[in-house]
A and B are shown apart, each in its own frame.
Chain A
Amino acid sequence: MVSLARRNLLHDKLRFAITVTGVSFAVTLVFVQVGLFLGLLDNASVTIDHIGADLWVTSRNTPNVDFSHTFPETLVQRVRSVPGVARADNLIVWFMQIALPNGAQEGIVTYALEDFRAWGIPWDVKEGNLDDLKRGDFLFLDGSAEQRFGAFKVGEYREVLERRLKIIGRSEKALSFTTTPMAFIDYRRAQELSRESLQGRTTYVLVKLARGADAARIAAAKAEIARRLPHNDVYTRAEWASKTRSYWVSSTGIGMNMYLTVFLGILVGTVVVAQTLYTSTMEHIKEFGTVKAIGGSNADIYRILAEQAVIAAVAGFVVGAAMAAATSPLMERIHLKLIVPPPLAGAVFLGTLVLCLAASMVSFRKVASIDPALVFRG
């Protein structure tokens, strides 16, 4: 069957290129913006996702994992006494000042535990032995710190809260939502560094339940811990990760910014497609009149416009997705993650189709009302 839609669309290659560019621009924008947002959200809860805790005990109303508050570290004993709890340890998450070789002061978010291996953090160790952390004034620094602090090597020293610590290891992929570099130090060392705030205090209690704990047991343990620690909050891992991510979405402008950019991308894409399809339709108006004159119905006309919209959508999506994929390695270089899960790709594809078809309706309204008698006009 002859496709007038396809042939007309490809006949004017420049206009087709403009249409595809408009769609692909919108697709790229949505992919990059949402992908970066998901990447940042992934960073926001990346430590929660990797630490092997079934439950997290926090101080009351802690908004997210980075913005921690302290409570007495002895509360961990009460948690350990709860039936079904296999292990419970204190975790300190705390912002500290680090002095760089050039004299500048920067912030780091430190994770402090007595036994890092037991909790699986950091999960991607490139250099060093985590067990050595408790043997002196040592720290592990994540490789992403190079973006902010410049290059560093294991064996070098950095001042943290005016105390010289030796870098004895390097991890990777431990990123925070705020892009503040992450460091790992011994639990007691962290308390010594910030005595005023942390002496005898912790910011979280990590809880691991006995092997094989199902949802019901987790819920029961959570309720019991909450009963014994009435001035704290208790979350499952999923709840705490979700709360942390939700904080950044709802309590800051970043969620609105993402939605706004996506909206603008969609708007620009739709307007470009609608405008180019409309212009193309107007230029071919006599041809549509001819289609009607030779017996074509409005359904035939809409089929032509819809086919053009689908071609523009598919081509634009492919180009846009390829462009977004091409930006991914560039993002990685600056330690930004672009996460595009298959459901997002599917949703963007469907959205592109729907928007292009909707854009074609602008033209259809015009064509549906044309008088086929115009074919007799010179």
Chain B
Amino acid sequence: MTVLESSKIVKRFTEGRQTVEVLRGVSLSVARGEIVSLEGPSGSGKTTFLSILGCILTPSEGDLVVDGTPVDAARPGSLPSIRRRSIGFVFQQFNLFPALSALENVEYALNVKGLKGPAAHKEAERVLDAVGLADRMRFLPRDLSGGQKQRVAIARALAGAPPVLLADEPTANLDSSAGAQILDLFRTLAKRENSALVIVTHDPKVRSVADRVATIRDGLLAA
């Protein structure tokens, strides 16, 4: 079942008098439980495409449907609710809140998504346990290793069981061993939660966990 469907996505950025077309008609469909590795050289537009799939940026042209909801580029105010409901992010820099413990980082994301109180607390504990951090829940990010931080980030993305998971270079700041563990964990959990997972990466190891590889070059999706 397709949960993420983009069709002929075009994205232009204007700086001063110059307009740059970063994406030139990218179409991609991802089904629930499917893992897609999105690759391409630097500047090819893959992070821009990920931002559009994640309803952070709106396309200049083209259509996007997330979990059955068409994204209306003319109404950017509707994007936060789609992100809350349907998308979990994992970032290259982890982007954890330094003042919050691992548990609170996950719980806060759930609060933003509308889940509050004991239910949020319980769900945060569940996903942290799932990523193998049951004994590190009270630790602040500064007291965690890079791999552990990324596990917290994965737990935060998984919290609330969103149908779409988007990851931007999740192994870029990890050593190869930690990166491999993270990828295995990510694959296992995405499959278990039946979530679509799109990973933007330069890391060839991602291919080993992906069901499919999509490559962007010069703003176009190569076959």
A interface residues (Cβ-Cβ under 8 A, vs B) = 1-2, 4, 7-8, 10-11, 286-287, 289-297, 300, 372-373, 375-376, 378
In the bound complex, what is the Cα–Cα distance between A11 and B96 (angstroms)? 14
Query: Does B30 make an interface contact (CB < 8 A)?
Result: no
Closest chain-A Cβ to B25's Cβ sits at a distance in Å of 21
> Which of B56, B99, B112 touches A296 (beta carbons < 8 Å)?
B112
Query: Does B168 make an interface contact (CB < 8 A)?
Result: yes
Q: Is the CB of A290 within 8 A of B97?
A: yes
Q: Is the CB of A292 within 8 A of B80?
A: yes
- A interface majority secondary structure: helix
Q: Of the 9-residue stretches B61-69, B81-89, B188-196, which lies at the interface with chain A?
A: B81-89
Q: Is the CB of B97 within 8 A of A1?
A: no
Most buried by B among A10, A11, A292, A372: A372
Query: Does B149 make an interface contact (CB < 8 A)?
Result: no
In the bound complex, what is the Cα–Cα distance between A296 and B156 (angstroms)? 14
Q: Is the CB of A7 within 8 A of B99?
A: yes
Q: Is the CB of A7 within 8 A of B56?
A: no
Q: Known contacts A291-B112, A300-B112, A373-B57; can you find 7 more A-B pairs with CB under 8 A?
A: A4-B99, A7-B100, A10-B99, A287-B97, A295-B85, A296-B80, A378-B92
Which B residues are in CB contact (< 8 Å) with A291? 112
B80-133 contacts to A (CB < 8 Å): 80-81, 83-85, 87-89, 91-93, 95, 97-100, 104, 107-109, 111-113, 116-117, 120
Q: Is the CB of B57 within 8 A of A2?
A: no
Q: Is the CB of B80 within 8 A of A11?
A: no
Knowing A294-B89, A295-B81 touch, does A2 contact B51 (C-beta < 8 A)? no
Q: Is the CB of A295 within 8 A of B51?
A: no
CB pairs A–B below 8 angstroms (26 shown): A1-B120, A2-B107, A4-B100, A7-B97, A7-B99, A7-B104, A8-B99, A10-B99, A289-B95, A290-B97, A292-B80, A293-B56, A294-B83, A294-B88, A294-B112, A294-B113, A295-B84, A295-B87, A295-B112, A296-B80, A296-B112, A372-B56, A375-B89, A375-B93, A376-B51, A376-B168
B108 nearest in chain A by CB position: A2
> Which of A2, A10, A295 touches B83 (beta carbons < 8 Å)?
A295
Knowing A2-B104, A373-B51, A376-B47 touch, does A293 contact B83 (C-beta < 8 A)? yes
Q: Is the CB of B83 within 8 A of A11?
A: no
Closest chain-B Cβ to A151's Cβ sits at a distance in Å of 59
Query: Does B219 make an interface contact (CB < 8 A)?
Result: no
Which A residues are in CB contact (< 8 Å) with B109? 294
Q: Is the CB of A376 within 8 A of B91?
A: yes
